[in-house]
């Protein structure tokens, strides 16, 4: 006699980048096990494959997950985790007034949103007719930064930036990945002035990210402190 098939609920969320609705399901025990084993192994290839497979399996909408920006992927993963394990995260924080007292804080995952700084734009203008349009880093960098905890060295930062250029424009002319090689994009980055390069760095510094602020009262002193968490890793520290 065949065992009964276990059903699972489906959920919806709005992608922060586009506002489009995405359907997803909780991860299954076998998928969580693969991810945990991969994380324990500390093997980069295993972790990369496990994270990719888990997200792709759980996202039910027809969408190119590999091409989603990091902040979309962080938001999706956080919500998949909420549907799978629990709708809140418990963190232990140290009270700021005495730097000693520990307090447990329960944060509802539904309260965690993607913060979009005012004025942020993927279009970076060097002058009235010359500039670049950037893509947000996607799946590969999401895994490296959030699961492999990689710190990029100087050369890797330049590679990341050249990989993320969508277009270079100058007047009527537009250069994109269909007409420009990765090597040419890299050479373009190397040829920028310091001020121009700083504008591209600002694009990354002000990119949308998971963010949540909350206050905690020190039970010993009654003093209230405010905390701000940013990025997926900070919610699982």
User: Residue 235 — very low, low, confident or very high, per pLDDT cuts 50/70/90?
Assistant: confident
Share of the chain above pLDDT 70, in %: 97
Nearest to 60 by CA among 14, 22, 15, 21: 22
What does the pLDDT read at residue 220?
Answer: 94
Domain residue ranges in the chain: 11-86, 89-114+209-235, 123-205
User: The pTM is what?
Assistant: 0.87
pLDDT reported for residue 6: 66
Apex CA 113: angle with CA 99 and CA 218, to 5°?
Answer: 20
Is residue 4 over pLDDT 70? Answer: no
Question: What is the rounded average pLDDT of the residues 129-152?
Answer: 88
**Per-residue pLDDT band at 145 (split at 50, 70, 90):** confident
Residues in the chain: 237
The predicted pLDDT at position 182 comes to 87
Q: What is the pLDDT of residue 3?
A: 65
Structure-block tokens of residue 2: 């065949």
Average pLDDT over residues 147-173: 88
Please report the pLDDT score of residue 69 as a whole number: 94
The residue assigned the tokens 């990210």 is 209
> Quick one: which of 94, 164, 96 has its CA closest to 124?
164
In order of 61, 89, 147, 160, 200, the CA distances from 154 in angstroms are 37, 34, 20, 10, 15
Q: How many CB atoms lie within 10 A of CB 18?
A: 12
pLDDT band at 203 (very low <50, low <70, confident <90, very high): very high
Residues 89 and 236 sit within 8 Å (Cβ to Cβ): yes
Those residues with Cβ within 8 angstroms of residue 2's Cβ, 6 or more apart along the chain or in another chain: none
Average confidence score pLDDT of the chain? 91
Q: What is the mean pLDDT of residues 15-24?
A: 94
Q: What residues have CB less than 8 Å from 180, skipping those under 6 apart?
A: 168
DSSP 59: B
Cβ proximity of 79 and 14 under 8 Å: no
- 120-136 pLDDT, tens digit per residue, is 999 999 999 999 999 99
CA gap 134, 183 in Å, rounded: 17
- CA-to-CA separations, 122 to 136, 196, 235, in angstroms, rounded: 8, 14, 26
Query: Is the pLDDT score of 79 beyond 70?
Result: yes
């Amino acid at each position: 006699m065949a065992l009964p098939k276990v059903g699972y609920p489906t959920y919806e969320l709005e992608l922060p980048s586009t506002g489009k609705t995405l359907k997803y399901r909780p991860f299954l025990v076998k998928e969580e096990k693969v991810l945990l084993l991969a994380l324990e192994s500390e093997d980069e290839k295993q972790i990369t494959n496990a994270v990719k497979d888990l997200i792709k399996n759980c996202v039910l909408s027809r969408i190119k997950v590999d091409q989603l920006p990091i902040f979309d992927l962080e938001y999706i993963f956080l919500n998949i985790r909420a549907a799978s394990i629990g709708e809140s995260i418990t963190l232990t924080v140290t009270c700021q007034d005495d730097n000693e007292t520990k307090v447990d804080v329960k944060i509802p995952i539904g309260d965690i949103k993607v913060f979009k700084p005012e004025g942020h734009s993927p279009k970076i203008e060097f002058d009235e007719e010359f500039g670049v349009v950037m893509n947000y880093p996607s799946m590969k960098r999401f895994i490296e930064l959030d699961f492999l905890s990689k710190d990029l060295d100087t050369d890797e930062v330049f590679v990341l930036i050249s990989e993320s250029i969508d277009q270079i424009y100058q007047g009527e002319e537009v250069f994109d990945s269909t007409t420009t090689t990765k090597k040419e994009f890299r050479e373009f980055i190397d040829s920028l002035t310091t001020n121009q390069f700083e504008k591209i760095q600002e694009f990354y510094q002000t990119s949308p990210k998971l963010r949540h602020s909350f206050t905690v009262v020190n039970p010993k002193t009654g003093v209230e402190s405010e905390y701000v968490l940013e990025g997926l890793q900070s919610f699982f520290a």
